Amino acid sequence: MQYYNKERAHVFLCNTNGDCLPVSKLAEFSDPAELKVTTLPPTVGWERTHEGKMTPQFADMRKQFDPKK
C-alpha cells in the first residue's frame, strides 16, 4: 500500500536558517541519538526561584521521548 507519491509530494524539511530539503532526503539523516548538542535552544518559559527572581524554565523530556522504552 502506498499512501503518497513521493515525486509529487510537496513536503519539505526546513531548519532554523530557512534552508529546506525535500522529504525524499529524510533517509539521509543520521540517528538523532548520535548528534552532539553544543548549545541549548532558546527558552520558552519562565518560573520564580525561591528568592522570587524570574528565571528561564527548562523541562528535560528526553526520557519521555526515548524510543527504546
pLDDT in tens, 45-60: 778 888 888 887 777 7
Distance CA 30, CA 56 (A): 31
18-33 pLDDT, tens digit each: 777 666 655 555 566 6
DSSP for 17-69 reads TS-EEEGGGGGGS--GGGPPP-SPPPP-EEEE-TTS-EEEE----TTTT-TT-
Claim: this prediction has a pTM higher than 0.75: no
For the chain, give every domain's residue range: 1-41
